[in-house]
Amino acid sequence: MSDESAVEEKKGVLAGFREFLMRGNVVELAVAVVVGTAFSKIVDSVVKGFVNPLVGAIGTEDLTNYRSCLRGPCSYDDSSGEVTEGVAIYWGPVLSATLTFLITAAVVYFLMILPMNKYKERQAAKAGPVEPEATEIQLLTEIRDTLVAQRQGPEDGRRTVTAPRTPED
C-alpha cells in the first residue's frame, strides 16, 4: 500500500468518524447521558439524604444498614460495620438502589416522556391527517392501466397508430 493511499484512507476514516459524531442522534444522546447522570446524582442524594433516614425513623436504623445473617451467628465490628463472623446479606443498599431507580424512572416518565407524547399528539392533530404515500405496487398498477388505455386508443374502440418519431420532429 502506498503512502498516498494510506493517507487518503486515514482521512476517509477520520471524516467518516467526524460525520458519525456530528449526526443529530449522537449529539442528542451525549446530551441525554450528561443530563441523566446529573439527574441521577440528584435522585441518589434525595434517597440517601431523605428516604433512607425516613425509613430509619420509622424502623430501627438507616436503610443502608439493614442486613440479615445468611449462615451462622453473625458478629459485626462496631466501628466499621463489617462482618467478622458468619455470612451476612446487606439487603438495605439493594432496596435503596431500587428506590433510586423507581424514583428516577417515575420522574423521567411524568416530567419528560408523558409531556413529550402529549406535545407530539397535539402537533399531529394540528397537522391534520397524513395521506399515505403510494406504494410501489399501486404506482406500477397505475402505470400499467395508463399503458393499457393508451394502447386501446380513444373510447370508441378504434386504435390509433402513430408514426414513429424521427430526430427531425
pLDDT tens for each residue of 65-94? 788 888 778 787 777 767 778 788 888 888
Residue 164 has pLDDT above 70, yes or no: no
pLDDT value of position 157: 53
pLDDT value of position 144: 92
Work out the angle at residue 37's Cα, subtended by the Cα atoms of residues 28 and 92, and round it to the nearest 5 degrees: 145
Band (pLDDT 50/70/90 cuts) for residue 9 is low
Residue 7 has pLDDT above 70, yes or no: no
Residue 158 has pLDDT above 70, yes or no: no
Residue 163 has pLDDT above 80, yes or no: no
pLDDT value of position 133: 76
Residues 16 and 65: beta-carbon distance below 8 Å = no
Residues 40 and 47: beta-carbon distance below 8 Å = no
Topology of domain 3-127, CATH: 1.10.1200
Four-point Cα dihedral 22, 27, 30, 32, nearest 10? -170
pTM comes to: 0.52
The per-residue pLDDT for range 101-149, each reduced to its tens digit, is 888 888 888 888 888 889 989 988 888 776 777 788 888 899 999 999 9
The per-residue pLDDT for range 20-38, each reduced to its tens digit, is 777 767 777 777 888 888 8
